Amino acid sequence: MRTVIFRTIAPYLAALMVLFSIFVLLRGHNEPGGGFIGGLIAASALAIFGIACGVASVRRAIVFHPMGISGFGLFIGALAGVVSFFRGQAFMTSQWLIFDFFDVEVALSTPLVFDIGVYLVVVGAIGSIALALEERESD
Amino acid sequence: MTPAVIDDTTLYAVLAPFAAAVVAPFLTRLLKHNAAWPLALVPALIFLHFVGFIEPVSRGETFVAAKAWAPSYGINFSVYVDGLSTLFGLLISGIGTFIILYAGGYLKGHPQQGRFFSFLFMFMGAMLGLVLGNNLISLFIFWELTSITSFLLIGFDHLRAASRRAAIQALVVTGGGGLALLAGFILIISATGEIEMSVLLGSPDIIKDSGLYLPIFLLVLGGAFTKSAQFPFHFWLPNAMEAPTPVSAYLHSATMVKAGVYMLMRMHPLLGDTVLWTTVLPLFGGVTLLVGTILAVRQTDLKLMLAYTTVASLGLLVMLTGTSHEKALEGAVLYLLAHSLFKGALFMVAGTIDHEAGTRDVTKLGGLRKAMPVTFVAACLAALSMAGLPPFIGFIAKEVLYYGTSNIGDLGQLGVIITIVAVIGNALMLVIAAAVAMKPFFGPKVDTPKQAHEGPVLLIAGPVVLSVIGIILGLIAHTTGILFVGPTLSSLLGEFKQIDLHLIPTEPTPVILSFTTVGLGIALFTQLDKLRDFTASVLKAIGWGPDQGFDQFVSGIVRFATWLTRLLQTGKMQTYMLLTFFFTALAVLLPGYLTNSFPAMPKLPEYRFYEWGILLIAVLGLFAILVARTRLTAIVSLGVQGFAVALIFMMFGAPDLSFTQFMVETLSVVILALVMTRLNLSPRDHRTVPARLLAGVVAVAVGLGLGLTLLSITQQPFDSTLSVFFTEFSRSIAHGRNIVNVILVDFRGFDTLGEIAVVVLAGLCVLALIRVRTKPDTVLDPPPERTGQSQNAEAR
C-alpha cells in the first residue's frame, strides 16, 4: 500500500477530506449532510492518513487521543441540551441565536453544537478503532 | 393535627452542608487545619435553626415545607418537622459541629484534609435530608446518599486494602438494604396512593388495612436492619472502623447507623404494634444486643470495643422499639439520646488517645490520667453515662427502659425475657465502659509508641462538651423530658404525649434491676481477661461468622458469573453469528408463516436501463463473494454490493441515506480488512462443505425473511402523520430544510444523544478488545508507571 504516490498524496487527500467533512457538517441543517456523515468522512481521512504515513504521525497530528475527542463530543452534545434549562424549558429544547454579520444572516443554535458533538463522537470512536487496528502494521 | 406549612429555610438548612462540601477543599487549602473553625459554623447555624423548633414541637405542633422536584411523578423535596426529626436534626448538627472541629485536629496536616471535610459535609446533608424527609422518594435518595458518603469515608484511606474491603462491604450491605427499602416505599405508594410521610402518618391504619402489610413490613425491615447493623448484618459496622476516627464517632455511632432505628421509629405508627412487629423486632434486637456485647468483650482495640457496643446498643434500641409499649419506647428515645452523646464522646476519646499515644490497644495503654487529664475526665463522664450510673442521662434511660420492659403485661413471658436480655446486655456494656475509660488511664504508666500528652483544643472540645451535656440533661431531667423525649415519643405513638421524667427513681423494680446490672457488671469486669479468653476460644471453636460469609457470598457470585458467562459465551464467533442469524430468520419468518400472511408478489415497475445496470452490479457483487478465493476479495466484493445499494438510495431521493451508506461501506471494508490482517487470519476460508451449506441456508433465510417483511410493510397503507408533521414544522420550528438532520439533532435529539453515548462506549470496548490481544511489551504508547514496573522486572 505504501507506494510513493500514495504516501505523497495522502496528507493532501486527508486534509481535503477533513475540510470537506467540516463543510458537510455545517451545511447539514439545510442540505444533505450533518454530524454523523461528516464524522465518518473525517474518520476515513484519519484511516487513510494512517495507512499511508503510519499511525504515529496521525496521533501526533490530532494531538488528543481519539477516544478523548469522542468523549468531549459526547460532553458538548449533552451540554447543548442543558442550555434550555436556563430559560426554564425542557432538556434539549433548541435555542437559536440569529443575527446579521456584515449583511450575512448567521444562525447559531444548540442543535448545531449538538451536531458538532455528534461529529466529534463519530470521528473519535471510528478513528480510534481504525488507528488501533492499523497500529500493528507499522511496527 | 395537620402540619403547618413553613418557609423554605429548613430546606436550605438541609442543603447548606452540600454547599459547605463544595467550599471546604478551597478553604482548607487556604487555612490548613484551622479551616475547621469557620466550617464548623455551618452545622452550628443549622443546630440553632433546629433549636427554634424545640419549643413549638414540644407543644405538639408539626411543620412541613416543600419544593417541587419532579412534580409529574409526585416527587418533591420536602421536609417534615416533628419531635423525632427535631431530635435527630439537633443530634446531627450538634454533634456534627464538634466532629468538624475534631476532624480539623485529627487530620491536621493530612494532604487530603479538604476532601475529608467535603465528604463529611456531604454526609451531614444526606443525613439531615433523611431524618427530615417527608417525600418517600426524596427520603430514599438521601438514604442511599448516606450509604455512598459512608463508602467514601470508610474508604478514605484508599491505599489500604482493608479500608477498601470495609468500604465495599458497607456499601453492599447498606446499599442492598436500601434497595429493599425502595421496594418497600414503592409498595407503600402503590398501596396507599400517598407519597408524603406526613399524609401517611395522618391515617395510621392505612398500611395495616391495605393487604400489603407483610411485604412492606419485611422490605422496610430489610432496609432498617442492614443500616442499623442488626444481626446477622452486623459485621460491616466493626469493619467500618477502618475509617478515620471522626468518621467512626459521627457516622458509625452517633448518626448514620441510627438511620435504621429512625426508620423503624418513624414507621412505628404505621407498621408497629402488630403481632409480627412485637415478635420479629425484639427477637432480632435482643440477639444483636447479646452478640454485640459478647463480641465487644473479646476485643482489645478501643475502637473495636466501642464498635461492638454500638452494634449492641442498636440491638437494644430495635428491641425496645419492637415492644410497642409506651414506657419501653420512652426508654428507647432516652437511650438513643444518651447513646449518641456518650458514644460520640468515647469514640473521640479513643481517637485522641490513639492520636497522642500512638496506639489504641488497651493492653498497651495505662496510666495516662496525668498526661491527658481533660481527656480522662471526658472519658469518665461519658463512660459513667454509658454504664448507666446516676446522675447521667444514661441512668435515666436505663431506669425508664427497665420500667417499660418489666411492665409489658400483654406480651407475657416475652417481657421477662426482654428484661433479662436487657440486664445482661447492659451489664456487659458497663464492663466495656469501664474497660475503655479506666484501662488506658489508671494503673502504672505504660510506655506508648508516642510520648502521650494532652490533645489540642480541636480534639478535646468534642468529648468534653458531649459528655458534659450528658450530665446536664440528666440533672435537668424534667426539662429534658418535656423538650426532647416527650415530643419524640409523640412521633412514635402518633399522638401527642407529655411525659414527666425524674432523676430520682420512684418505682422499686427498675432500681432493683439497675443494682443487679451494676453488680453483675462489676463482677464481670474483675474477670474481664478470663471472659475475653473464654469468648475468644468459643468464637474460635465456631470458626465461622457472617464476615467470612460475606466473602464467600461475593466470591460465590463471581464464580457463578464466570460459570454463566462460560456457558453462554463459547468464544467462537462463528457460533454467535450463526445463532444470531438463525433466530433473526426465525423471528421474521415465523409470524408470517403462522398467520399465513406473506405479502403478495408486487407488480414490477418498468425499470430503466441504468436501474437494471445498478441491480446487475449488486448481483455481481454478491456472486463475487460466493466465488471469492480469499477472504479479502469477499470483503471487497461485499462493498461492491453495498455501493450499489447506496446508488439506489441516491436515485430514489434519499441523498443523506445514500451518502451515509457510501461512507459506512467504505469504512466497513477498510476496518474488516484491517481486522483480518490484525488477527492473522488465514486468507482463505477453511470451513467444511456442510458448515458452508448450513451458513448459506441461514443467510438465505434471513435475506428472504427481511425482504418479505419489507414487502409487507410497503403494502400496508401509508400513515403520513409523521411525514406531514416533519415537513410542516422542520422549517418553522427548527429552522432547517434538511428534515433528516432536523429529526436527528432536534426533534429526536434525545435519541441521538443516547446513540452517540453508545458509539463512545462501543469505541471504548473495541479499543479494550484490541488492547487485550496486544502483549505488554508491544504496546506502542504505554503508561509511564507500567514502563517503570517492567524495567524493574527486567532488572530483577
Quote the pLDDT of residue B411: 56
Q: Which are the contacts of A118, defined by CB distance < 8 A and separation ≥ 6?
A: A34, A35, A36, A39, A73, A77, B744, B745, B752, B756
What is the pairing mode between strands A104-109 and A96-101? antiparallel
Tell me how long chain A is.
139
| Gap between the Cα atoms of A56 and A103, Å rounded | 45
Report the C-alpha gap between B762 and A53 in whole angstroms: 26
What chain B residue is nearest to A134 in terms of C-alpha separation? B674
Which residues between 63 and 82 in chain A have a beta carbon less than 8 angstroms from any beta carbon of chain B? 66-67, 70-71, 73-74, 77-78, 81
Q: Would you state the pLDDT for residue B796?
A: 34
The candidate with the shortest Cα–Cα distance to A35, out of A76, A92, A67, A96, is A76
Looking at the predicted structure, is the pLDDT value of residue B392 above 50? Answer: yes
pLDDT at residue B773 in the model: 59
Q: How confident is the model at residue B775 (pLDDT cuts 50, 70, 90)?
A: low
What is the chain B residue with the closest CA to A136? Answer: B678
Decide if B33 contacts B101 (C-beta within 8 A).
Answer: no
Rounded-to-integer distance, Cα B745 and Cα A29, Å: 9
Q: How far is B12 from chain A (nearest CA, A)?
A: 21
Q: How confident is the model at residue B412 (pLDDT cuts 50, 70, 90)?
A: low
Q: Which long-range contacts (CB under 8 A, 24 or more apart) does B184-193 make?
A: B184/B215, B184/B216, B184/B218, B184/B219, B184/B220, B184/B222, B184/B223, B185/B136, B185/B137, B185/B139, B185/B140, B187/B212, B187/B215, B187/B216, B187/B219, B188/B136, B188/B216, B189/B136, B191/B216
Residues B489-517: tens digit of each pLDDT = 999 988 888 888 888 877 888 888 888 99
Determine contact, residues B763/A124, Cβ cutoff 8 Å. yes
- pLDDT of B121 above 60: yes
How many other C-beta atoms can be found within 10 angstroms of the C-beta atom of residue B371? 17
Q: Are residues B522 and B576 in the same domain?
A: no
Q: Count residue pairs from A and B with Cβ separation < 8 A.
A: 146
Selection from B89, B88, B68, B64 nearest residue B77 by Cα: B68
B592 plus B494 within the same structural domain: no
B391 and B334 in one domain? yes
In a domain, B214, yes or no: no
Distance (Å, rounded) from C-alpha B245 to C-alpha B206? 43
For residues B414 and B494, membership in a common domain is answered with yes
Look at residues B526, B557, B589 and tell me which one is the last residue of a structural domain.
B526
Does some domain include residue B480? yes
Residues recorded for chain B: 796
Domain count of the fold of chain B: 2
ipTM over 0.90: yes
Cα–Cα dist B537/B549, whole Å: 20
Q: How many CA atoms lie within 13 A of B273 on its CB side?
A: 16
- Looking at per-residue pLDDT, the higher value among B733 and B264 belongs to B264
The answer as to whether B774 is a domain residue is no
Select from B118, B519, B128, B493 the least CA-distant residue to B325: B493
pLDDT for B617 beyond 60:
yes
- Cα torsion angle, A21, A25, A31, A37, sign: positive
Q: Give the pLDDT confidence score for residue B409 in this predicted structure.
A: 64
Residue B435 lies in a domain: yes
Give the number of other CB atoms < 10 A from CB of residue B64.
21
- Quote the pLDDT of residue B388: 87
Q: Are residues B435 and B354 in the same domain?
A: yes
Using a CB-CB cut-off of 8 Å, the residues of chain B touching A34 are: 656, 738, 740-741, 744-745
**Residue type at position A129:** I
Q: Say if B620 falls within a structural domain.
A: no
Q: What is the mean pLDDT of residues A31-57?
A: 90
User: Residues B443, B574: one domain?
Assistant: no
Query: Distance of CA A91 to CAs A82, A94, B9, B743, B758, Å?
Result: 6, 9, 29, 16, 19
Q: Which domain holds residue B453?
A: 298-526
What is the Cα Rg of chain B in Å? Answer: 35
Mention every residue, 6+ apart, whose C-beta is less than 8 A from residue B328: B320, B401, B404, B405, B408
Q: Which residues of B touch A (CB under 8 A)?
A: 655-656, 659-660, 663-664, 666-667, 670-671, 674-675, 677-678, 734-738, 740-742, 744-746, 749-750, 752-753, 756-757, 759-760, 762-764, 766-767, 770-771, 774, 778, 780-781
Please report, rounded to a whole number, the percentage of residues in chain B having pLDDT higher than 70: 96
Q: Please tell me chain A's helix, strand, coil percentages from 3-state DSSP, rounded to the nearest 5.
A: 75, 10, 20
A89: Cβ–Cβ under 8 A, 6 or more apart, which residues? none
**Residues B495 and B434 grouped into a single domain:** yes
Query: Does the CB of A30 have a partner CB in chain B at under 8 Å?
Result: yes
- Mean pLDDT over each residue of chain B, to the nearest integer: 88
pLDDT, tens only, B271-317: 988 889 988 999 999 999 999 998 898 888 899 999 999 999 999 99
In a domain, B68, yes or no: no
> Are the C-beta atoms of residues B283 and B225 closer than 8 Å to each other?
no
In a domain, B186, yes or no: no
Residue B457 lies in a domain: yes
> A29: distance to nearest CA of chain B, Å?
5
